[in-house]
Chain A
Amino acid sequence: GAGVSQTPSNKVTEKGKYVELRCDPISGHTALYWYRQSLGQGPEFLIYFQGTGAADDSGLPNDRFFAVRPEGSVSTLKIQRTERGDSAVYLCASSVDPTGELFFGEGSRLTVL
């Protein structure tokens, strides 16, 4: 399809493990965003890419979280030494440019046991 694609849709892991979540944005969209949605809460901003560079990573909660977008298209959110509090739905969105409408993927649900 032509929408934002996120994989995996569900990930269950054990505390302390490393996790990668992938986002494939809409073709041609230069802006890409990661948000985290905990149960009963609205999405919270994590990081924003314009092209290949992270233009704003002020929402990353700590240095266990890292994201890359090496070719300006697909992005990977990486979480090291996962903790139970990292359990949430991780949402990716893309837009044509920073002022354009955001198109969200269905999210990756991460459960840390």
Chain B
Amino acid sequence: GDSVTQMEGPVTLSEEAFLTINCTYTATGYPSLFWYVQYPGEGLQLLLKATKADDKGSNKGFEATYRKETTSFHLEKGSVQVSDSAVYFCALRAGGSEKLVFGKGMKLTVNP
């Protein structure tokens, strides 16, 4: 079945450090790929998405590129801030399906 494997944390970084969170997927067909973020005390929010191969999603300084050849959708940010402290989830939605399949999530803490 469809699945998502992502880096597990927790991870602690200093402010302005570079961030990469790895995500790989297994799916039939051509899924849409997503990164969701959950800030402390809040619900899950869509951070960015990509719907086809080589698409790049970007938002709030975060980027991820849909790589079909490596079945990956790694999340990157060049300079993290304290306000980026949250749990990050990679997810996919297979073609023809309405349901999201999530990875386990990675907790990021950014210290000043």
A and B held together in a complex: yes
Interface residue from B41, B42, B98, B102 paired with A43 (Cβ < 8 Å): B102
**Residue with the greatest number of chain B CB neighbours at <10 A, chosen from A43, A91, A103:** A43
B99 at the interface (CB under 8 A from A): yes
Interface residue from A59, A93, A102, A106 paired with B42 (Cβ < 8 Å): A106
Which residues 13-44 of B sit at the A interface, judged by CB distance below 8 A? 41-44
Check if A31 sits within 8 Å of B98, measured CB to CB: yes
Work out how many contacts link A and B, with CB atoms closer than 8 A.
48
A25 at the interface (CB under 8 A from B): no
Contact A104 to B101, CB < 8 A, known contacts A42-B89, A42-B91:
no
Check if B104 sits within 8 Å of A40, measured CB to CB: yes
Check if A42 sits within 8 Å of B42, measured CB to CB: no
**Binary interface encoding of chain A residues 40-62 relative to chain B, with 1 for a CB under 8 A from any of its CBs, else 0:** 11111100101000011001000
Interface residue from A33, A50, A101, A107 paired with B46 (Cβ < 8 Å): A101
- Which residues of A come within 8 Å of B, CB atoms? 3-4, 31, 33, 35, 40-45, 48, 50, 55-56, 59, 91, 93, 98, 101-107
Which 3 interchain pairs have the tightest Cβ spacing?
A42-B102, A104-B44, A104-B43
